[in-house]
């Protein structure tokens, strides 16, 4: 079962080096063309510093979470004051995804991994074939086509958290209009050096009252 | 070999039932002959059956139809798709009969050992996770969607859906099988939190009955299993005792009864 969903992440550095991230995903999981599950959390905190979001096959995402659970557990068991940050987790995921791809048995996910550690912000992505990179904003699925162009125009280094949220909501609304597998129920996560919060699911208002919508084919013969 | 190919063509995968056709045994080791020849392989694979699990205030109610089909033939019209795993946990099976049976058997076996070692009844979550392990790790070979439901003293009544890929998802209610397509809208409207036992059971019976009305792969009787702190209750709702839906008629013994009745219906000539 797939969730071909969008993730958008933006990040912004603040002078006092407490960096803030925000990202969004909706809470839906589809089964073919049916919007089957409408309350699936696709963003999860990893360790102290990172957040993982996924689109694609949910069973594989659940398995990845188990792998990461073990990774973090072993890291904690060293009890040496160190903890795996987003860069390290991203690297681990890249290896896992790429190696599975080489065995022709991929984990069918697009992953986004972000976080803040020691004042350093990090945002990266890995695909099911092992393509990985980091950027100021990333997305999965339709998000790449619909949201990133908006972000390329409107993202800048000094976004406040509120502006970031508004920007993401603008992107999510477009995806709601244009992605068949999207539902109007989403979560936003905020990550700072101090910690991370994931909001409760909420819905966005949509706009349909264009006169062109009410009478799209005025004057035409037939309704097309 | 020619004969092998001929036999494979005749072999059918049995959908959610017990009867194995002889040709199945004769065909190659891993029989995967599909009965639906015109399917788009990218669409979700539809499965014969309607299965439902709902939580209510105090426990869970599991429900299912009773039709096992092999192709167009109804191999068993009174099958029991709600299978016991432990005293307090049951599973609704859909999809391939063979796959769902073997998974249930393994999990029952593991849970039995787990219960002995633990010294107390297994939790619903553990049962569901064992099912998930088998479903996920054998996802390329298995074709079965399961709904695990039960009651334990720690978390009360719980329902877990485990669809085709091996995803584990806890839900207040779950629907599965090919008949479930017709129930998404129904549950969106009819489901509410905190129902009583009777409300929940009536909802399940109504839902399975509606699915049977529209899904060719579902039919027969409605079976329900109610699980709560007091124990387990099995119920049986025969097909002819269910409510009638759109364009369904009151069953008669014979046309002759209609003709001979005090107000005979005019016959169309």
For residue A62, what is the nearest residue in chain B, using CA coordinates?
Answer: B167
| A59–B136 CB contact, under 8 Å | yes
Domain assignment present for residue B165? The answer is: yes
Domain assignment present for residue B61? The answer is: yes
For residue B162, what is the nearest residue in chain A, using CA coordinates?
Answer: A59
- pLDDT of B17 above 50: no
Range of the domain at B141: 51-241
Band (pLDDT 50/70/90 cuts) for residue B46 is low
Domain assignment present for residue B201? The answer is: yes
Q: Domain total for chain A? A: 1
ipTM confidence score = 0.75
Q: Per residue of chain A (224 residues), what is the pLDDT tens digit?
A: 333 333 444 433 333 334 567 788 899 898 888 888 988 999 999 999 999 999 999 999 999 999 999 999 999 999 999 999 999 999 999 999 999 999 999 999 999 999 999 999 999 999 999 999 999 999 999 999 999 999 999 999 889 999 999 999 999 999 999 988 888 999 999 999 998 999 999 999 998 888 888 888 888 887 88
Q: What angle do CA B203, B63, B95 make, to 5 degrees?
A: 130
Domain assignment present for residue A224? The answer is: no
Domain assignment present for residue B131? The answer is: yes
Separation between Cα atoms, residue B151 and residue B148, nearest integer Å: 10
pTM summary value: 0.80
Give the tens place of pLDDT for each residue, A153-202: 999 988 999 999 999 999 999 999 998 888 899 999 999 999 899 999 99
Domain assignment present for residue B9? The answer is: no
CA distances (Å), origin B127, targets B50, B99, B132, B154: 21, 17, 9, 14
Range of the domain at A99: 3-214
pLDDT value for A181: 87
Instruction: List the single residue in B164, B181, B184 with the smallest CB-CB distance to A1.
Output: B164
pLDDT value for A31: 87
Q: Nearest Cα to B142, choosing from B83, B109, B98?
A: B98
pLDDT value for B255: 85
Domain assignment present for residue B263? The answer is: no
Domain assignment present for residue A76? The answer is: yes
Give the tens place of pLDDT for each residue, A173-184: 999 999 888 889
Domain assignment present for residue A222? The answer is: no
Instruction: Indicate which CATH number applies to the domain containing B120.
Output: 3.60.20.10
- pLDDT of B244 above 60: yes
Question: Mapping DSSP to helix (H, G, I), strand (E, B) and coil, where does residue A176 land?
Answer: helix
Domain assignment present for residue B181? The answer is: yes
Instruction: Indicate which CATH number applies to the domain containing A130.
Output: 3.60.20.10
Q: Does A60 touch chain B (CB under 8 A)?
A: yes
| B165–A32 CB contact, under 8 Å | no
Q: Domain total for chain B? A: 1
Domain assignment present for residue A219? The answer is: no
Q: B171 to chain A, minimum CA–CA distance in Å? A: 9
pLDDT value for B269: 59
- Arithmetic mean of pLDDT over chain B: 84
pLDDT value for B252: 87
Domain assignment present for residue A220? The answer is: no
| B163–A1 CB contact, under 8 Å | yes
């Amino acid at each position: 079962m797939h969730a071909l969903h969008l993730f958008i992440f933006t990040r912004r550095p603040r002078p006092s080096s407490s960096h803030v991230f925000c990202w969004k995903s909706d809470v839906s999981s589809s089964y073919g063309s049916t919007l089957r599950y409408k309350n699936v959390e696709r963003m999860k905190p990893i360790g102290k510093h990172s957040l993982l979001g996924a689109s694609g096959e949910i069973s594989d995402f659940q398995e990845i979470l188990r792998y990461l659970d073990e990774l973090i557990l072993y890291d904690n068991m060293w009890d040496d004051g160190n903890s795996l940050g987003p860069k390290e987790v991203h690297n681990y995921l890249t290896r896992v995804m790429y190696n599975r791809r080489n065995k022709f048995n991929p984990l069918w996910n697009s992953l986004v991994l972000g976080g803040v550690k020691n004042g350093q912000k990090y945002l990266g992505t890995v695909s099911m074939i092992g393509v990985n990179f980091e950027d100021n904003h990333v997305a999965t699925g339709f998000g790449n086509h619909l949201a990133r162009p908006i972000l390329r125009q409107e993202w800048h280094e000094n976004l406040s958290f509120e502006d970031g949220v508004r920007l993401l909501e603008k992107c999510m609304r477009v995806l709601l209009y244009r992605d068949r597998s999207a539902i109007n129920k989403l979560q936003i996560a905020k990550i700072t050096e101090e910690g991370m919060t994931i909001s409760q699911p909420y819905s966005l208002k949509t706009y349909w009252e264009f006169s062109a919508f009410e009478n799209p084919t005025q004057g035409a013969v037939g309704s097309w | 070999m020619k004969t092998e190919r001929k036999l494979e063509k005749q072999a059918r995968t049995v959908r959610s039932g017990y009867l194995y056709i002889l040709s199945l045994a004769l065909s190659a080791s891993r029989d995967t002959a599909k009965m639906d020849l015109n399917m788009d392989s990218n669409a979700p694979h539809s499965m014969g059956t309607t299965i439902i699990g709902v939580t209510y205030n105090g426990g869970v109610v599991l429900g299912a139809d009773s039709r096992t089909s092999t192709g167009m033939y109804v191999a068993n019209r009174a099958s029991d798709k709600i299978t016991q795993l432990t005293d307090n946990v049951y599973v609704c099976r859909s999809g391939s009969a063979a796959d769902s049976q073997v998974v249930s058997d393994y999990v029952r076996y593991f849970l039995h050992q787990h219960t002995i070692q633990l010294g107390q009844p297994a939790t619903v979550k553990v049962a569901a996770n064992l099912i998930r392990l088998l479903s996920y790790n054998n996802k390329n070979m298995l074709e079965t969607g399961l709904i695990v439901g039960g009651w334990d003293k720690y978390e009360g009544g719980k329902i877990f859906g485990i669809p085709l890929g091996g995803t584990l998802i806890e839900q207040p209610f779950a629907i599965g099988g090919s008949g479930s397509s017709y129930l998404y809208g129904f549950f969106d409207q009819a489901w509410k939190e905190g129902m009583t036992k009777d409300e929940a059971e009536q909802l399940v019976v109504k839902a399975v009955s509606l699915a049977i009305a529209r899904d060719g792969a579902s039919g027969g009787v409605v079976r329900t299993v109610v699980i709560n702190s007091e124990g387990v209750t099995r119920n049986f709702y025969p097909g002819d005792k269910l409510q009638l839906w759109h364009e369904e008629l009151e069953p008669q013994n014979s046309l002759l009864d209609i003709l001979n009745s005090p107000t005979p219906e005019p016959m169309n000539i």
